[in-house]
Amino acid sequence: MKHLVESAMRPIVSLLIVINIFMAGCIGLGNFEEWEENIYPMYGMTGWEMVHHFEKDENNQTTETLTELEIEYNPESAVDAEFVEFWLIPGDNSERLSIDPKQGNTIPYMYSGYGAFMAEFGVIDSLGNEDTIPRTKYDWPAVIRSAQFYLNQTQASEPADLFVDAPNPNSVGSPERIIVESTIGNSFALPLTSEPTDITWSLIDPEGNVLETHTETIDVGDEYTWEFYLESPMRGDWQLTIDSSAEVNINQTTEIRMGYSGFMYDYEG
């Protein structure tokens, strides 16, 4: 069994992976094996590693921008068989998807939430030959959906907190990193209400513990950006609280990224 996986490019907007694999049955001949190639599959995949966007407001209402996985099937038969099924198991506990090759050659799928999902897919011909990805437990990269959470405010009397939802419960792993970038501005208002303020950021983990905190005095007309980075964060709901010591005109731009990259399932067995 021989396979070649071509996965060299990771564009920001989409990812195209083309896999050209030779499916073979083998006959043992002493220390040698004779390979019989039945299927020459070609898979085109877009949206393999993407970012889902979640825009929050001060009431923790969420607007989602999700991206679609699309697998294109273009196999050829080495034994003059017809293909009878193209299929996909998304890996998020949803049902197996399949199409009749006579009706099309593409299966799209939209993941909810974010995380790493161990998708499986393949083709079946009229003689019962089947090609399946992954080949082995060692070549099983996850479909990646990192998450970017946003909160923006303009001339608010107090800063709002940003709530970060947990990964999809069917994600095979926790995020690999958390990146926080929060900018607070103290904008001009009426002379009697403009004054410096102390801004305190507190990052709270899923167990309710304050993992990191920072306080900065921001003068009128100034702004400050607090940044924080953590590898292997705990799985679950996170919260970034932001408190102001004075009631002033607050401008806020806060982003938290829950990142996955090149995630491989810790397979046992």
Question: Taking the domains of the chain in order of start, what are their residue ranges?
Answer: 2-51+67-142, 146-259
Separation CA 3–CA 88 (nearest Å): 19
HSE (side-chain half, CA atoms, 13 Å) at 6: 10
pLDDT digits (tens, 9 = 90+) for 81-104: 999 999 999 999 999 999 999 999
pLDDT digits (tens, 9 = 90+) for 168-187: 999 988 899 999 999 999 99
What is residue 59's predicted lDDT score, i.e. its pLDDT? 94
* Domain 146-259 -> CATH class: mainly beta
Identity of the amino acid at 221:
G
Query: And the tokens for 165?
Result: 């939802």
